[in-house]
Structure 1
Amino acid sequence: MSHRTSATPTAADQIAYLDTAAATAVGRDYKRRALDALGLRPGHAVVDIGCGPGTDLGRLADAVQAGGRVVGVDRDARMLAEAGRRLADRPTIDLRAGDAHALPLNDTSMDRARIDRVLMHVADPATVLREVRRVLRPGGVLALAEPDWDTLAVADEDVRTSRRFARFVAGRVRNATIGRDLVRLSAQTGLRVRSVEAIAVVFQDFDTADRILGLRRNSARAVAAGELTHADVQPWLRRLTDGPLLAGFTLYLVTAEA
């Protein structure tokens, strides 16, 4: 899952967004780190909670090999349909419709679990983490990757507009500070935190930043909401387009053990 920047996104929009984010340099890097942190071995059973269009399921299946099992859970039937299309030739991957708050898995049935930019959207992150603890075997490992949208910053001489834009974007995310909350929530749900990394997600290309952060879309929405004015936004966007551009936020990668 990802930061949704459209009020009523189509499935194609969401899938394109996820594919774009995963293909960025920082996306490839943190996903590799999260996979390494899981310590997957042949024969493991692993669940990807909020698997979307199956972006990472193939790599999980490669790691656990033919003797292992990969379960992808998502509540969006459109995402599962796309994952099924992409992974039709991977028999060890089991796609299941389900809510992260009530996982369609038996107790202590999984060796590993991953959650990638999903808790930022859910109604109750603590309940999701309790569910993960329920389905993990003792000693099982969870890898979490979540942004902290409150750390979003866009460099520009008009600091006021950049700050208002960042606050507006963070305000559109249900759990904007979930990245910094992962350690506390994991500990409260009985998971033992093993490692924490803070990863700087940095953009220097306007087109990529616009696709991921919605510079044009969200500034237009901020104007419509009365948070910014056209007089603020037009020169701000022009300077960002002309460059040089620098924008970014912090993503937290946490591993925990059941």
Structure 2
Amino acid sequence: MSNEAIEALVPQLDAVERSPHAAALRARSYELLRAAPGALVVDVGSGAGRAVAELADQGARAMGIDLDEQMIALARQRWPYVEFRVGDANALPFEDGEVTGYRADKVIHTLGDPGRALAEARRVLAPGGRIVLCGQDWDTLVIDSNDPELTRTIVRKRADQVASPRAARQHRNLLLDAGFGDVTVEVHTEVFTDGSFLPVLTRLAEVCSERSAITRAQADEWIADQWERARADRLFAAVPIFIAAATTP
């Protein structure tokens, strides 16, 4: 990722991560990890590193892994007391059974072969280790609009741009296929009724227009509808987040 792309992305990530709902979801994922003090917990796809720092603050030996060197550099700058490494979810820099906790938030859907990454997670986790996966199903965005058919097209076509858009609904089966046990799944839905979600809605339509899935005029009309809804206090969008957890036998 270029420096320019990171500079544009990080403020958006920060805004999302600071929201009460996102903070509550992270806290729930830490509860499900059940990390003992000093236990090695890896956060795969750690981004700017907030979750890694929070886990470290709770007493875990937390380590962030991200494929992007620029993001790792930013995380090290922000949280200098925490360890971060450049690494691939499909080839983690750990020995067999070295890790006691594995967390991946909004990562699995970006992978072309989620099963391969979970097999790697299974390799590095010790017996009794915990894995927690968090993510959205890109086909299940709920958005009210004046044009339901166009909205369905936008949601579907935007999902088509994601490597594994339905990975979140597959979390349970992916974990079972990788040999994990004690699998649980929770759904936490965030509801947006104000302008805070407008940048996301705008980008949804713009990506579809850029990929010629809809026309520019359709995108502009749809975006204008969402902005007017926000102005009139009539915006409604809901994003279900799926959290799956499991134990290594």
The two structures have a TM-score, normalised by structure 2, of 0.91
Q: 1:105 aligns with which of 84, 88, 94?
A: 94
Give the CA deviation at 1:18: 2.0
SS of equivalent residue, structure 2 residue 24: helix
SS of equivalent residue, structure 2 residue 137: strand
**How far apart, in 2, do the equivalents of 1:226 and 1:43 lie?**
51
Give the CA deviation at 1:34: 0.6
Pair 1:60 & 2:46 matched = no
Contact 1:113 1:141 in 2 (8 A): yes
Pair 1:162 & 2:147 matched = no
Pair 1:85 & 2:80 matched = no
Give the CA deviation at 1:224: 4.0
In structure 2, give the amino acid aligned to 1:123: G
Give the CA deviation at 1:235: 3.5
**How far apart, in 2, do the equivalents of 1:112 and 1:254 lie?**
13
2:136 paired residue number: 147
The two structures have a TM-score, normalised by structure 1, of 0.88
Residues 171 and 71 (structure 1 numbering): CA distance in 2 closer, same or farther, change over 3 Å? same
Deviations 1:132-168 (A, max 9, x none): 1111110000111011011012101311111111112
Deviations 1:158-199 (A, max 9, x none): 111111111122111111001100000000000114321011
Identify the range of structure 1 (217-226 vs 17-26) with the bigger mean alpha-carbon deviation.
Answer: 217-226
SS of equivalent residue, structure 2 residue 112: coil
1:42 paired residue number: 37
SS of equivalent residue, structure 2 residue 245: strand
**How far apart, in 2, do the equivalents of 1:113 and 1:150 lie?**
26
**How far apart, in 1, do the equivalents of 2:115 and 2:17 lie?**
26
Pair 1:237 & 2:223 matched = yes
Give the CA deviation at 1:8: 10
**How far apart, in 2, do the equivalents of 1:224 and 1:127 lie?**
31
Q: 1:74 aligns with which of 66, 74, 87?
A: 66
Give the CA deviation at 1:223: 3.0
**How far apart, in 2, do the equivalents of 1:223 and 1:145 lie?**
28
Give the CA deviation at 1:41: 2.1
Identify the range of structure 1 (97-106 vs 15-24) with the bigger mean alpha-carbon deviation.
Answer: 15-24
SS of equivalent residue, structure 1 residue 156: coil
**How far apart, in 2, do the equivalents of 1:85 and 1:139 lie?**
33
Contact 2:172 2:183 in 1 (8 A): no
In structure 1, give the amino acid aligned to 2:140: T
Residues 230 and 69 (structure 1 numbering): CA distance in 2 closer, same or farther, change over 3 Å? closer
RMSD of aligned alpha carbons: 2.0
Structure 2 unmatched runs, 5+: none
2:197 paired residue number: 209
Q: 2:174 aligns with which of 162, 167, 185?
A: 185
What percent identity do the matched residue pairs reach?
A: 30
Contact 1:153 1:163 in 2 (8 A): no
